[in-house]
Each structure stands twice: as structure tokens, then as C-alpha cells.
Structure 1
Amino acid sequence: MTPPASAAPTEARLLEMVFPDHTNHLGTLFGGQALAWMDKAAFIAASRYARLTVVTARSEQVDFTLPIRQGQLVETVARVVAVGRTSMQVEVELIAEDLLSGERETCTRGRFVMIALDSRGRPAQVAPLPGD
């Protein structure tokens, strides 16, 4: 079912393979690389929702609960979960998938605050989430 054209998407999904240049000496994903993928997905979700330029204001509590290993597929899922006057809170999770077994595990979660900007680079008003 396709949402109505007026409904703004609140989610973004990205896929990445964990290659050797993404890993540390233990063969697991660098934390900085994970944060970069999460910030990128948060940026896309917030941009699609607001249909304005957005920037990252902050990242909040990022929990690295399980390692992500070289050779795994990583799905980054970002969802706009709250909207202020000019800000959007975006929850992001990293889900690692073993390509051979299909086993999937959520490994990392965090929240990012994104700010919408107008054409002059000043904070711009964002429409409330549907139902708020």
C-alpha cells in the first residue's frame, strides 16, 4: 500500500557491507564508522520528513551492545520519532546480518537530534508528526 503523497516519510534504511577498512584490529566494526552510518541515516530520515536542509545538533546515548564483524551486512534503520518546533529526534539502530545463515541481531542503538534550516542557515519550523 502506497502512502498518500502528502504523508512525509519518517524512516530511512541503508545497507552496508563491513569490509576490512571498516574494522579495528579485532575484525569488528569501528565505533566511529558505526556512528557515521547512523548519522547519515538520521540525516536522510530527517531530510525526507522535513523536506528542508538539516544538520546534526547532537547524538544521544549510543549503546554498542554486540560487535559487528567483518563480512556481515549492516542494515541501518532511522526513524523520526519526535518533532519539536525546529528539531527532530531520530532513533537509529544497526542490525547485523550473517549473509550465509540469515541470522540478524540488533547490535547498536542511538538517538540523534537534527535541526531543520532555512535557506539562510537559520532554524526553520518543522511540521508536527501526524497524530501529534
Structure 2
Amino acid sequence: MSAVPPAGAPTTEARLLEIVFPDHTNHIGTLFGGTALAWMDKAAFIAASRYARRSVVTARSEQVDFKLPIRQGQLVETVARVVAVGRTSMQVDVELIAEDLLSGDRAPCTRGRFVMIALDGDGTPSPVPPLPDA
């Protein structure tokens, strides 16, 4: 579990929940890879925006690994964490965790890293604060 950051400290994490409906799946009843990537990018966007308190855009997605299929009817928790920052960029690790709603069994299924760039009001890359000490 993540602790609540002290007042004024940047928030480094975002969590989203989705349910896998039939329109999210391929012909064998598992989550489309493109849908998984969209959910991951959305979570990375939210985590980076909350951290920087600026508009952000995706610069890159790296090393997305699909380890286990996510099936129709499963709940998916998407967890995004800002893990490193540059001058205007943020690296965000994102994980998809599938949960069976009836049994409660959970399993990490997909991981990836996204690089997000903070922008000012003119759309120019803008500095972000350093990560707080852990």
C-alpha cells in the first residue's frame, strides 16, 4: 500500500479500475493488446500529470511485456508510478493486475514503462520537480 504523501508533496501514483467486457476482447476472449496499451498510457498520463501539475504528452513507451492473458469478465487494476524524472520528462512504470471477481485471485499480467513530457501553456517542454526522497 502506498502512504499518503505529506501536504505539498507531489503525488507519484495513479490507480485505475476497468472491467473487461466483450467489446474489449479478441476472438479468443482475451483483452486486446491495444486496449491494454491504451489503459496503461491513460494511467501514465494521470500519474505524470498529477506529479508535475502540468499537461503532459507521451514521448515513448518501452518494453511492454504481456505475461498472462486477461480474460473477459476480469477486473483490471492499472497501477502507474512515477519512478524517475529528468528536467522535463518523467518515467512512469505501469502494471496491469487481473482479478477474478468471484474468487478474488489476483495476478500481475502486463508491465511497461512510459516516458511522459511536461508542457507549459504554450506546449513547450516544462521543468518538473525532482522526486522526493524515499
Q: TM-score w.r.t. structure 1 length?
A: 0.97
Aligned residue in 2 for 1:123: 125
Counterpart-to-counterpart distance in 2, 1:131 and 1:92: 21
**Displacement after TM superposition at 1:13 (Å):** 0.1
Deviation sequence 1:18-57 (CA, Å, 0-9, x none): 0000000000000000000000000000000000000000
Amino acid at match of 1:27: G
**Displacement after TM superposition at 1:4 (Å):** 2.1
| Runs of 4 or more consecutive aligned structure 1 residues displaced over 3 Å after TM superposition | none
Aligned residue in 1 for 2:88: 86
Unaligned residue ranges in structure 1 (runs of 5+):
none
Aligned residue in 2 for 1:18: 20
Provide closer, same or farther for how the CA distance between residues 114 and 2 of structure 1 changes in structure 2, counting only shifts above 3 A.
Answer: closer
Deviation sequence 1:56-97 (CA, Å, 0-9, x none): 001000000000000000000000000000000000000000
RMSD of aligned C-alpha atoms? 1.1
Aligned residue in 2 for 1:107: 109
Percent identity over the alignment?
83
Counterpart-to-counterpart distance in 1, 2:4 and 2:83: 21
Counterpart-to-counterpart distance in 2, 1:106 and 1:2: 23
**Displacement after TM superposition at 1:3 (Å):** 3.0
Q: Secondary structure at the match of 1:44?
A: helix
Q: TM-score w.r.t. structure 2 length?
A: 0.96
Counterpart-to-counterpart distance in 2, 1:63 and 1:4: 33
Unaligned residue ranges in structure 2 (runs of 5+):
none
Aligned residue in 1 for 2:72: 70
